[in-house]
Amino acid sequence: MISERIEALLPDFWEGRLPEREREEVLAWMAANPAAAEEVRALEAVWQGLSAWADERPSPQLETRFNAMLSAYERGLKAQKTTTSPSFWILLKQVWGYKPAWNVGWQLGFATACLVMGLGLGKGFWGRDEVTTHQIAQLQQQVDVLNQKMTISMLEQNSAAERLAGIDRLRMVAKPTDETLQALVHTLAYDPNVNVRLAAADALMPYLKKDANLQTAFAASFKKQDSPVVQSYLIDILAQDRGKDSIRLLEEVREQTAEPMVREQIDTCLNEIK
């Protein structure tokens, strides 16, 4: 039977860092209790055997993700200090400087190219026939539809880089459909990656003024944000919107949040609006 007193000494005893007096106490106890001493030695072997599982290294992506997160956070802090909120796209392009895996992008991009070429050839785009304005508009519409399908499909990918690339693709779309905008709102509310949520917010910004339902959905997504960086950016966007709903939401968030920086930023924005 090993007493609690001896139990408490054993880990340091096995590590060889027990003070001399206590080490002697353990050795004396072991000498007086040969059966228990045998158990202590067997346990020491288990303790030492744990070193068989040596340290492993995480993948390099961990560092890339960390740098992305830190840059986004620093950017968020700077944005808090200024009234203007420059596009996060610049930031995200720096952050995701490496070439993403464009699996879906390539497939749908190829489909887009085929459509352009097919329509072009069919209408004599590269031939002698002139292309009417109407035909070009039709062509643009088809390309827009494909780009939006590409965006929605890429938003469902596991890789954050692909989801960002999907949002980037929306820049080529003249007029996104409600389905695409809803997919972006969903991404803003639920995507696990901060950078993707920031990009979704940025992509939604141009359409907020024109769509009251979108404003409401955008504002509602604020409450789902746990990242101060995203919160800070959404505050900027809502402040720029200056709509009644946005102001009311900012006031609500101000009351609910425990983050002093968020409260401070909202105060500044509300003062400017008023």
Partner 1 sequence: MTDRSENELMLRIREGEVHLLSTLFERYQVPLFNFFLRLTQDRALSEDFVQDVFMRVLKYRHTYRGDGTFKGWIFNLARNVCMDHFRKNHREIRGIDEQVTAQVPDDSDRMDWIEREQSAEMVRAALAKLSHEYREVLILSRYHDMKYEDIAIMLDCSVAAVKVRVHRAVKALRKYYLALEQEQKTG
Binding residues for partner 1 (CB under 8 A): 2, 4, 7-12, 42-43, 46-47, 49-50, 52-59, 61-63, 65-67, 69-70, 73-74, 77, 194, 227-228, 260
* Number of neighbours of residue 80 by Cβ within 10 angstroms: 21
Closer Cβ to partner 1, 130 or 226, answer by number:
226
Candidates 177, 163, 251; CA nearest to 214 is: 177
Give residue for tokens 């890339």. Answer: 64
Closer Cβ to partner 1, 40 or 143, answer by number:
40
We find the least distance from the C-beta atom of residue 246 to partner 1, in angstroms, to be 25
We find the least distance from the C-beta atom of residue 268 to partner 1, in angstroms, to be 17
We find the least distance from the C-beta atom of residue 63 to partner 1, in angstroms, to be 7
Closer Cβ to partner 1, 4 or 130, answer by number:
4
Cα 104 from Cα 154, distance rounded (Å)? 6
We find the least distance from the C-beta atom of residue 204 to partner 1, in angstroms, to be 23
We find the least distance from the C-beta atom of residue 8 to partner 1, in angstroms, to be 4
* Residue 2 in tokens: 């090993």
Closer Cβ to partner 1, 16 or 49, answer by number:
49
Closer Cβ to partner 1, 100 or 228, answer by number:
228
Closer Cβ to partner 1, 122 or 192, answer by number:
192
Cα 35 from Cα 119, distance rounded (Å)? 89
We find the least distance from the C-beta atom of residue 141 to partner 1, in angstroms, to be 41
Closer Cβ to partner 1, 35 or 54, answer by number:
54
We find the least distance from the C-beta atom of residue 22 to partner 1, in angstroms, to be 12
